[in-house]
Amino acid sequence: MDPDLSVRLRSDLKAEGYGDAELAQLISSGQLRRVRRGGYAELLADDPVAKHRQLISTTMPKLSDEAVLSHMSAAAVHGLPGWPDLLGKVHVIRARPGGGRCGTVVHVHPARLDPSEVTLVDGLAVTGLARTGADCSRSMSFVRAVALGDAALRGGMIKSDLLVGLELAAHCRGVGQARRVASFIDAGAESVGESYSRIVLHRVGLPVPRLQFPVRDRSGMTVAGLTSAGSSSGRWASSTVRSSTADCCGPMKPLGTPCSERKSAKTWCAISAGRWFGGRGTTLIAQRLWLIGSAAP
């Protein structure tokens, strides 16, 4: 975690000699900002994932040693994508048959947890990438689960480990969707936006795209990258175009959103186009891609 975003617990501050009145003054003056009850920081993170990391850091010391960070909390620690509406609580697994609860800050999941599925990251006990991917794939939307799974593969998750974990969770709710996610994820998707694009292309019935297809000018210089490209008997091509001068301006923007950060006003954050039988059908394909892409979370 960024040192500027480090947190302090009330118990530690009291041990250092700060009294209740002095702490109240520090809070009211803005020198300390409340992360949660009994947990503070001099600076609150703006990024949702970093803000969740602060919540984790002020919460885990209050929990028993058997608590293991899981689900979206484990994903945040592993550096995987996050969504603000899923980061309001700290998720932990306790390896026991019952006793689950969902409070204002902590969501406790009672579940089977093999020691091999637990790892240490920055001194925190968290579920490994495969178990994190399995738990998230069962509990969030397909679109988001694919984006998270793509990122987990890029981060080193082994798909066979994910499949083994899903077999062990065969009786759990959501395992059917998780298997669909496992069959769809691809480490070639370099961002959440690219993961969304692959799903859009799949939903309109286009073939599986080739990821990270370079576009070169006549001199051979790479001038843009197609996050996906495909063809069928030379009849069509569908692509999401990414300029080499800037990255995608954000995964939450719908396909077709103009990217003001780009050097060229003609470059779009995502451009979906079709060439079908000499150009016929292009408008229909683009409209379908826009309608579905605009609905992506």
Read off the pLDDT of residues 1-23 as tens digits, 9 standing for 90 and up: 666 679 999 999 999 999 999 99
Amino acid present at 5: L
The pLDDT of residue 3: 61
- pTM for this predicted structure: 0.74
Q: Look at residue 237 in the predicted model and tell me its pLDDT.
A: 37
* Residue with tokens 């979206």, as numbered in its chain: 72
* 8 Å CB contact between 78 and 143: no
| Of the candidate ranges 35-39, 72-76, 237-241, 291-295, the one whose mean pLDDT is the lowest | 237-241
Q: Which pLDDT does position 2 carry in this prediction?
A: 65
Q: Where are the domains of the chain?
A: 1-44, 61-184, 192-294
- How far apart CA 210 and CA 26 sit, in angstroms, is 55
- pLDDT tens across 159-211, in order? 999 999 999 888 899 999 999 999 999 998 888 988 998 898 888 887 766 66
